[in-house]
Amino acid sequence: MTMIRSNAARRAIVSAFAGCVFATAFFQAASAEAISDIGTWRLNLAKSSYSHGEMPKSNTLTIKRAWGTNILRAISKGIDAQGNPTETKFVIMFNGKVQGANGDNFSRKSVSYTTEEYARWRDGKMLQSGSTKRSPDGKTLTLTTKGLNAQGEHLTNVLVYERQ
């Protein structure tokens, strides 16, 4: 009888451990799915629009998750309308709190599984606001921005990126 209890106890411990491992893996996978814009995205110029200024000749957006967090690091590289290379690095946090960078302040919050909203301020004045929407199949990322450009003109930009 002692051996049966011992084996039963071992099976129970192994089962409980396996359940914990499975649950941890499941929730980590669910968390990764919630941030489905991780990856490399290429700007589709034909589907995108700028209300002011010239469209860049190309742009690639690479988004990676900082290991073990829900903080994303993004690098935008491209060629501007004049043919000059561009590169911008930024951090994306989904907490709705204002984060500062290069004199600007940003906030970003998740609205749904496929949509985030963001805003940008400078010197207490809202410059731009918009949304990031992922298609249900995860192949398209659309960034819509409304507000003011660097010259103070009203803008409405729609950037359509496709997963690479």
Average pLDDT over residues 55-61: 94
More confident: 67 or 154: 154
pLDDT > 70 fraction of the chain, expressed in percent and rounded: 72
Q: How far apart are CA 23 and CA 32, in angstroms?
A: 14
CB-CB contact of 124 with 20 (8 Å): no
- pLDDT level of residue 154 (50, 70, 90 thresholds): very high
Average pLDDT over residues 42-55: 91
Query: What is the predicted pLDDT for the residue at 106?
Result: 77
**Of residues 100, 83, 79, 82, the one with CA closest to residue 91:** 100
Q: How far apart are CA 63 and CA 83, in angstroms?
A: 24
Residue 2 reports pLDDT greater than 90: no
Q: DSSP state, 51?
A: S
Query: What is the predicted pLDDT for the residue at 97?
Result: 65
Residue 61 reports pLDDT greater than 50: yes
Query: What is the predicted pLDDT for the residue at 30?
Result: 36
Query: What is the predicted pLDDT for the residue at 103?
Result: 66
Residue 141 reports pLDDT greater than 50: yes
Q: How far apart are CA 38 and CA 149, in angstroms?
A: 27
Residue 128 reports pLDDT greater than 70: yes
